[in-house]
Amino acid sequence: MATIIRKTAYFSMQTPNRAGQGARMLSGLAAHGVNLLAFTGFPTAGRAQVDFIPYDVGQFTRAARKLGLKVGTRKTVFLAQGDDKAGAIAAICEKLAKARINMVAMDAVTAGKGRFGAIFWVKARDVAKAARVLRAR
């Protein structure tokens, strides 16, 4: 299967960088039936930033509101999925580089059974151009 890249929505929020915060949020969302395409978190300035990439934006925002999660505004992230092979991520990076688009960040992982997945960000002003270059749906 070829690599498929799509634009999708994500929501960020800051939270205390303490044990159990991520579990509390993720358990709450799961209790509301929210399915996430991806989730990432990292420490920043004594706190933690978490990014939610929901399968269903409406369901996520309703659940987040009920749970009192103070998520930021909707932004765009790219999701790549495909066959795991040497250079799978490099090909994406090379296309963006040739188009002079700076990738802000990327998280990638092998998904097992010969598959990989990745989420990556470009600056908001470059989203449309990156989508064209990558033929993102």
C-alpha to C-alpha distance for 36 and 73, rounded to whole angstroms: 17
End-to-end CA distance of the chain: 16
Q: How confident is the model at residue 2 (pLDDT cuts 50, 70, 90)?
A: confident
Q: What does the block give as tokens for 106? A: 């990327």
By C-alpha distance, which of 81, 82, 88, 93 is closest to 121?
Answer: 93
CA distance 118 to 100: 20
- Prediction pTM value: 0.91
Give the chain's mean pLDDT: 95
Res 79 pLDDT > 70:
yes
Got the DSSP string for 69-136?
------EEEEEEEEE--TTHHHHHHHHHHHTT--EEEEEEEEEETTEEEEEEEE-GGGHHHHHHHHT-
Domains and CATH numbers, the chain: 13-70 (3.30.70.260), 76-134 (3.30.70.260)
Q: Summarize pLDDT for 86-136 with one digit per residue, the tens.
A: 998 999 999 999 999 999 999 999 988 999 999 999 999 999 999 999 999
In single-letter form, the type of residue at position 130 comes to A
What share of the chain in percent tops pLDDT 70?
99
pLDDT at 99: 98
CA distance 128 to 9: 14
pLDDT band at 22 (very low <50, low <70, confident <90, very high): very high
Q: Is residue 1's pLDDT more than 90?
A: no
Q: For residue 47, give the nearest of 1, 15, 72, 87 by alpha carbon.
A: 15
